[in-house]
Amino acid sequence: MCLVVAALFAFALARMSFKSEAAGAAAALALVLNPNLLYLSSAPMTEPLFFACEIGLAAAVVWFAQSGKWVAVVLAGLAGCAGTLVRYDGWVLLPVAALAIAISGRRWGPFLTFCLVAGLGPSYWLVHNRWFYSSWLEFYNGPYSAMAIQGDKPYPGRGDWQLAFLQVRTAAELCAGWGVLIAAGLGLIGVVMKRTGWGFLLLATVPLFYVSSVHSGGTPIFVPGLWPNSYYNTRYGLAILPLAAFCAAGLVSVIPWRAAALMVTLLLSIAPWVAYPRQDNWVVWKEAQVNSAARRLWTTGARDFLRNEYRRGDQLMVSFGDLSGILRTSGIPFRNCYHEGNGLIFDATLARPDLFLRAKWVIARAGDRVSNMARSQKLECVRIVEVPGQAALEIFRRKSDFIEPK
């Protein structure tokens, strides 16, 4: 549904910017015919939801710049607010959108209205972190933040602007496809001729943000063909797709034969995928295939065991992240387990399992904190799923309903 909404906003943005329904159709089709984005829409991941917010914000800002209507300001504020609650990419859009509204409106009312509505998202998130984690910036420097996960480990682009740009650019080429990028390059003529500055600037902000994130935000991107020749965060290259689709629409706007121009843009957009129609050509899918080999073995091994042994209502303690798929495939509701995201009860159980461990089942990776806790309490290890080159998955079971305090 979010992909459909994103496509509708892409159509509206391009139609308003280039004064052409054919241009709007080109932008929407370039977006929805990308197999990497289609894969993430089916997974599901947050890219389609964020694209709906990002392109919706850009469309609302352009609408306000052209009409001066207050409803456009409110829509921009709502889209901006939603975007900040989906991904941190949305935070960097707010100052750019606020600047666009301030310059376009030339009065304080629309600017302050946008800031008030859109600012609710970051404000809520800061308060949320303060309330649940006792730190306003838990998301930025907490133990599960990107900075903490990466630590001091080097990666291509860290502290090097040129290399950071190369990593993002390569990921963008693999994700968006060379065809739509060619159409976008040619369409820049239309972008300049039609003076579509605000739409272009807003959609260009997110790719630039990723270059900055690779440089100094602890956010590595690994792509095949560049050291270390592996797959990691390749989906971040899709940040270029809304901008590329918008610029490709500019190509349609400058060619008199709109139907022919639309067909050319459409053919360019799908050319890489038609020329090599295999899933291996979809870099985001390929990353999932390569990097989830261990996860799939863990998931299927644990699922087959739990389907026979788990009883409805049993409580579980789980090392989260990669192991969450075990619950989904086993049909076990998340409400029946506690994990890192539950905060205090999880930490208390790790610190004093003799007092707080009440789960019948414990699922963990060998050697992690949860596994060590289970072994310290001498829980029965009833299943081990061995995975080549990875830590084994362990399933523990309590023999009684309660563990007596020592």
Q: What is the pLDDT of residues 167-215, one digit of tens each?
A: 999 999 999 999 999 999 999 999 999 999 999 999 999 999 999 999 9
pLDDT reported for residue 152: 86
Backbone dihedral angles phi then psi of residue 387, each to the nearest 5 degrees: -130, 125
Q: Tell me the per-residue pLDDT of 320-363, one tens digit each, with 9 for 90 and over.
A: 888 889 999 999 999 999 998 888 899 999 999 999 999 999 99
Compute the distance between CA of residue 382 and CA of residue 286 in angstroms, rounded to an integer: 34
Backbone dihedral angles phi then psi of residue 165, each to the nearest 5 degrees: -60, -40
Query: Is the preceding peptide bond at 44 cis, omega within 30 degrees of 0?
Result: yes
Check whether 309 has a pLDDT greater than 60: yes
Check whether 129 has a pLDDT greater than 80: yes
Q: Which residues contact 349 (CB under 8 A, 6 or more apart)?
A: 317, 338, 356, 357, 359, 373
Q: Which residues of 148-171 are buried (b: 16+ CB within 10 A; e: fewer)?
A: eeeeeeebbbbeeeebbbbbbbbb
Element (H, E) at 384: strand 380-385
Cα-based angle 110, 115, 116 (whole degrees, multiple of 5): 100
Tokens (6 digits) for 317: 């303690």
Q: Do residues 65 and 100 touch, judged by C-beta distance below 8 A?
A: yes
pLDDT reported for residue 133: 83
Dihedral of CA atoms 338, 344, 346, 351 in degrees, nearest 10, equals -160
Averaged pLDDT score across all residues of the chain:
93
Q: Do residues 349 and 356 touch, judged by C-beta distance below 8 A?
A: yes
Check whether 89 has a pLDDT greater than 90: yes
Compute the distance between CA of residue 139 and CA of residue 341 in angstroms, rounded to an integer: 13
Q: What confidence tier does 310 reach under pLDDT thresholds 50, 70, 90?
A: very high
pLDDT reported for residue 294: 86
Helices (H), 69-226: 70-86, 89-105, 108-118, 120-133, 138-141, 146-150, 161-176, 178-193, 197-216
Q: Which residues contact 104 (CB under 8 A, 6 or more apart)?
A: 61, 64, 65, 68, 110, 198
Classify residue 313 as left (phi > 0), alpha (psi -120 to 50) or beta: left
Q: What confidence tier does 400 reach under pLDDT thresholds 50, 70, 90?
A: low
pLDDT reported for residue 403: 46
Q: What confidence tier does 406 reach under pLDDT thresholds 50, 70, 90?
A: very low
Q: In angstroms, what CA-CA distances link 242 with 37, 47, 254?
A: 11, 11, 19
Average pLDDT over every residue of 263-285: 94
Backbone dihedral angles phi then psi of residue 92, each to the nearest 5 degrees: -75, -15
pLDDT reported for residue 402: 45
Q: Tell me the per-residue pLDDT of 47-63, one tens digit each, with 9 for 90 and over.
A: 999 999 999 999 999 99
pLDDT reported for residue 43: 87
Average pLDDT over every residue of 132-136: 88
Check whether 314 has a pLDDT greater than 80: yes
pLDDT reported for residue 270: 95
In the chain, % of residues over pLDDT 70? 98
Q: Which residue has the higher pLDDT, 321 or 86?
A: 86
Check whether 405 has a pLDDT greater than 70: no
Q: Which residue has the higher pLDDT, 400 or 150?
A: 150
Q: At what angle do helices 369-376 and 344-351 cross, to 10 degrees?
A: 50
Average pLDDT over every residue of 13-23: 96
Q: Do residues 40 and 235 touch, judged by C-beta distance below 8 A?
A: yes
pLDDT reported for residue 245: 97
CA-wise closest residue to 105 among 164, 142, 62: 62
